[in-house]
Amino acid sequence: MQPFLALVDYYNQVPLPGHRDATFEEHRAGLEAVTAKLAAAVRAISGPAELRVRLYGGWFIGGQDEESADRGVVGTLARRDYPTRIEGSRVFVELADAMLTGDGQAMGYTVREQPGMSPFKMRWPLRACSLTQGNCSLHDLDCWRKGRCPRHKECGLAVSDVTFSRRQKLVDSMIVADTIEASLSEGWVAAVSNDDDIVPGVLTAAGHSRKVALFRFGRLRPSPYDGILAAKQLLPLE
């Protein structure tokens, strides 16, 4: 069977809860769903293959010795449940700690915690809420957005004391770099993400090889770049 490399933006493609840490079972079911979709897509494009799935994500909260909890869970699943056979393909799963090119050095600090809410703007409704008698909870949200408690001026807590977000770093650029690198080989390569940030890299890779694909599982809205992708015969599978 011919080789087929799938470069997967893990958190973009695996449906996990955003308001809490995912459970082991949620990771297992999500990874199983993605590999099943990949195997079906690969079968449609090239027939059964040696499908190598690389998972890109925020695997390190610090240096390469400080892995995230999710990396431990997903790594366990990759070792326990794979390789396996799906849709006739032999499926292997690995964590993309390092880039395909280079000396195998893991890229650390790929997830970072930031205190406070992510910046956003308010769009006030034209009609006031009739159920709150003027005390619309949007005003509370606006106060928290500005960094203070909406109920008690003497409250010493700031938004940054009680909220934080986790943000991935390097994931899109690693997928782009590896897609271009893999396009220089003879096998198929597919970038797997709904993020339009990888489109330029996929187009560049397609200039090197006709065996380049873009999979966007679960995407609900068309991309403004679909016309460009179609012209390069890269209409994405969704």
Instruction: Identify the CA nearest to 39 among candidates 192, 219, 194.
Output: 192
- Band (pLDDT 50/70/90 cuts) for residue 235 is low
Please report whether residue 220 resides in a domain.
yes
d(CA 171, CA 110): 7
pLDDT of the residue at 146 = 81
Q: Are 165 and 117 in contact (CB under 8 A)?
A: yes
Q: Distance of CA 6 to CAs 89, 121, 126, Å?
A: 13, 37, 47
Burial call 123-143: b when 16+ CB within 10 Å, e when fewer: eeeeeeeeeeeeeeeeeeeee
pLDDT of the residue at 19 = 79
Query: Are residue 26 and residue 134 in the same domain, yes or no?
Result: no
pLDDT of the residue at 233 = 84
80-134 pLDDT per residue, tens: 999 999 999 999 999 999 999 978 889 988 887 777 777 888 887 777 666 655 5
Where among 130, 146, 162 does a domain terminate? 162
Query: Are residue 225 and residue 150 in the same domain, yes or no?
Result: no
26-56 pLDDT per residue, tens: 999 999 999 999 999 999 999 999 999 999 9
Query: Are residue 47 and residue 79 in the same domain, yes or no?
Result: yes
Structural domain for 148, as ranges: 117-162
pLDDT of residue 238 exceeding 90, the answer is no
Q: Are strands 89-95 and 50-56 parallel, antiparallel or unpaired?
A: parallel
Please report whether residue 238 resides in a domain.
no
Q: Which helix (H) or strand (E) holds 185?
A: none
pLDDT of the residue at 215 = 95
Query: Are residue 12 and residue 31 in the same domain, yes or no?
Result: yes
166: buried, middle or exposed (CB in 10 Å: 19+, 13-18, 0-12)?
middle
